[in-house]
Amino acid sequence: MATIRPQVGCWYKEIETGQLFEVVAVDDDSDSVEAQLIDGELSQYDMDSWDLLNLDMVEEPEDWRNAFELSDDDYRFLDDTMVPERWNPLSEIESDIVNGITDEY
């Protein structure tokens, strides 16, 4: 059986079960592969078990985000921070009275 080496970020299909999964981590120290199934469940294989799998490397499925209820809009503005125009964070701080002195900020 030809062995496919696991690569992080690549998708695989187990031929016997038809199960699709993505490799999310490969740990060389413990000789293990962590995979995330298309339904979101995580699984782990030791390298001996990985070598016994009958796998095909496949393209990323179009609907892989369905299990996580994510859409393209969830990734569109990751770096944008939304702040109201007239928002002043100091206006939300309540004044304190300590020893009869009012702290207004």
Confidence band (pLDDT; 50, 70, 90) for 14? very high
Q: Answer yes or no: is pLDDT of 89 > 90.
A: no
For residue 73, the model assigns a pLDDT of: 57
For residue 38, the model assigns a pLDDT of: 82
Quick count: other Cβ atoms within 10 Å of Cβ 10? 15
- For the full predicted model, state whether its pTM sits above 0.85: no
Quick count: other Cβ atoms within 10 Å of Cβ 73? 7
pLDDT digits (tens, 9 = 90+) for 30-61: 889 999 988 888 999 999 999 999 999 988 88
Give start and end residues of each alpha helix (H) in 1-105: 47-52, 73-76
Residue boundaries of the structural domains of the chain: 11-103
